[in-house]
Amino acid sequence: MMASIDQGRNNKLGCDRVLHAKAIQGLKLFNEGKFFEAHEELEEAWKVEKGEVRELYRGILQIAVTYLHITRANYDGAIKVYGRSLKWLKNWPDICMGIQVEKLRDAAELVMNEVERLGKENIGSFNTSLFKPIQWIEKRIWICDRCGSEMVEKNCKVNCPNCGNRFDCSDLNIYFD
């Protein structure tokens, strides 16, 4: 019973949607510790996404900016941007569009507890192993770059039913160039 109610709420929020390709790229960069680049990709996803889930992208990109400030020993910047991110991160269910949002919220809170403990004077000695990767499950939709139709994937062969365009799913770069 609860599960179906949660499901309905998640769908209303857009949590049943597929992650935007730019968002996926942003999450990968985030997990590589490339916080500036992650922020740029997530910002692109935030700009083009029309649904409410765009605000989740905004929240995650602000966590990326927060972490970037920490790596640059910018205490005030980290505190300020983290404070802003809470508004965009707080109202999502634990998992949205496959992203483990609750784990991210918890990880960011631990990071900020440590930042506050170190204080402005010692933020330079922050241990970056506290930056935990964002976990997500990728459910993806392939859109044909020739005709815009939704493509069909089977055993890593992706075909466009409309125009016959095809490629191998291992060749991901064509989507991220």
- Looking at beta carbons only, is 124 or 161 nearer to Zn ion? 161
Residues 6+ apart with CB under 8 A from 158: 142, 151, 152, 166, 167, 168, 169
Shortest Cβ 171–Zn ion spacing (Å): 16
Shortest Cβ 44–Zn ion spacing (Å): 23
Q: Which residues bind Zn ion (CB under 5 A)?
A: 144, 146-147, 149, 160, 162-163, 165
- Looking at beta carbons only, is 78 or 144 nearer to Zn ion? 144
Shortest Cβ 158–Zn ion spacing (Å): 10
Instruction: Say if residues 26 and 61 touch (Cβ distance below 8 Å).
Output: yes
Neighbours of 60 (CB within 10 A): 27
Instruction: Say if residues 132 and 107 touch (Cβ distance below 8 Å).
Output: yes
- Looking at beta carbons only, is 32 or 145 nearer to Zn ion? 145
Shortest Cβ 169–Zn ion spacing (Å): 16
- Looking at beta carbons only, is 9 or 166 nearer to Zn ion? 166
Find the helix or strand (DSSP H, E) in which 124 lies: none
Instruction: Say if residues 97 and 18 touch (Cβ distance below 8 Å).
Output: yes
